[in-house]
């Protein structure tokens, strides 16, 4: 019998925008509570995450498929939504000193890789781990009608943001063109197909067991390395291929290798890893008087820790 858990779905729907936009200060609380912004952000972030989770459940797939879909989410948010992949003067690319750096086929490739890694980890995987520890089980959380409505809403809101919220191409005297957009849509479709066809693969595991404290430390180090090291590589090498290779090796390939080879953490170990990834952001948010999002995310982490089991599956 199909079961639903609408409270779990609601928490998962709301958490990503809070933990990414509000916690980082990218969107102030007053603007977030504006009805238009509230709907837009939560559909684009939480709606996409809920759809990813429900799709993987319906397909009967596991963490590998979830990971593939997480890597594709950046294309939805930053290409088909904000135009950050295409805009040569996108504000975040300028802020991270990646303006005009490694641009290919109308796409800011280094920035696209950088922000896709961020979204895969912090918009998809971290909220999913925390909420899944609070609401355990692998059953569906929403029915098929709500699933279809949410999918339509995500497509409609993303198209609306692309058309009306993002700065138009003529503002920066460029046009993203049909080619780059078609390429991104094709890559997104390929990611969905790969996640759907992903076989169950068993890997020989290393005989290493990391406790919760070690996993918390690894999460915090990963975030700090992600914030600090790419800019150093950019400054020292001034080479887009080296910059892109560094991102792919240290922030994609190496973490995936560790996931494949290390024994699966306990439920609390996974929460500790997610908490470590968020800890520096929570601390910075609290220091900058963004106390409400810091308190919400911290409370969810504590609840997840208390409810998480000593064992579990991804």
Q: What is the mean pLDDT of each run of 10 residues along the chain (314 residues)?
A: 79 96 91 94 96 95 91 91 85 85 90 94 96 91 94 93 70 72 93 90 79 94 95 94 95 91 89 96 92 95 87 48
Provide the pLDDT for residue 184.
Answer: 93
Provide the pLDDT for residue 313.
Answer: 46
28: number of CA atoms within 13 Å, CB side? 4
- Residue 97 inside a domain? The answer is yes
In terms of residue numbers, what domain contains 123?
6-307
Provide the pLDDT for residue 111.
Answer: 93
CB of 313 within 8 A of CB of 129?
A: no
Provide the pLDDT for residue 171.
Answer: 61
- Of 166, 21, 172, the residue nearest 79 (C-alpha): 166
How many domains in the chain?
1
- How far apart are the C-alpha atoms of 231 and 194, rounded to whole Å? 31
Q: What is the pTM of this model?
A: 0.91
Share of the chain above pLDDT 90, in %: 67
- Residue 313 inside a domain? The answer is no
- Residue 312 inside a domain? The answer is no
- Residue 1 inside a domain? The answer is no
Q: Which two tokens stand for residue 273?
A: 């890893």
- Residue 89 inside a domain? The answer is yes
- Residue 66 inside a domain? The answer is yes
- Residue 314 inside a domain? The answer is no
Provide the pLDDT for residue 132.
Answer: 94
- How far apart are the C-alpha atoms of 214 and 220, rounded to whole Å? 10
- How far apart are the C-alpha atoms of 130 and 205, rounded to whole Å? 25
């Amino acid at each position: 019998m199909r079961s639903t858990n609408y409270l779990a779905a609601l928490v998962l729907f709301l958490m990503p925008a809070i933990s990414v936009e509000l916690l980082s200060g990218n969107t102030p609380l007053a603007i977030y509570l504006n009805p238009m912004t509230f709907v837009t952000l939560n559909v684009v972030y939480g709606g996409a995450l809920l759809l990813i989770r429900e799709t993987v459940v319906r397909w009967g797939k596991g963490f590998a498929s979830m990971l593939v879909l997480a890597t594709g989410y950046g294309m939805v948010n930053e290409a088909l939504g904000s135009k950050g992949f295409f805009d040569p003067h996108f504000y975040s690319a300028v802020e991270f000193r990646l303006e005009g750096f490694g641009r290919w086929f109308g796409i800011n490739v280094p920035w696209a890789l950088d922000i896709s890694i961020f979204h895969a980890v912090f918009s998809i995987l971290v909220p999913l781990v925390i909420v899944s520890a609070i609401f355990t089980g692998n059953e569906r959380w929403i029915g098929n009608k709500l699933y279809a409505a949410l999918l339509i809403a995500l497509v409609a809101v993303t198209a609306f943001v692309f058309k009306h919220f993002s700065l138009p191409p003529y503002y920066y005297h460029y046009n993203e063109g049909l080619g780059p957009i078609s390429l991104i849509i094709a890559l997104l479709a390929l990611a969905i197909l790969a996640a759907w066809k992903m076989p169950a693969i068993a890997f020989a595991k290393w005989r290493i067991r990391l406790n919760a404290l070690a996993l918390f430390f690894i999460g915090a180090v990963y975030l700090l390395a992600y914030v600090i090291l790419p800019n150093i590589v950019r400054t020292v090498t001034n080479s887009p291929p080296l910059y892109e290779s560094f991102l792919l090796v240290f922030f994609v390939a190496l973490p995936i290798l560790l996931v494949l080879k290390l024994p699966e953490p306990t439920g609390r170990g996974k929460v500790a890893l997610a908490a470590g990834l968020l800890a520096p952001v929570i601390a910075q948010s609290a220091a900058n008087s963004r106390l409400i999002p810091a308190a919400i995310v911290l409370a969810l982490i504590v609840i997840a820790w208390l409810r998480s089991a000593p064992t579990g599956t991804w």
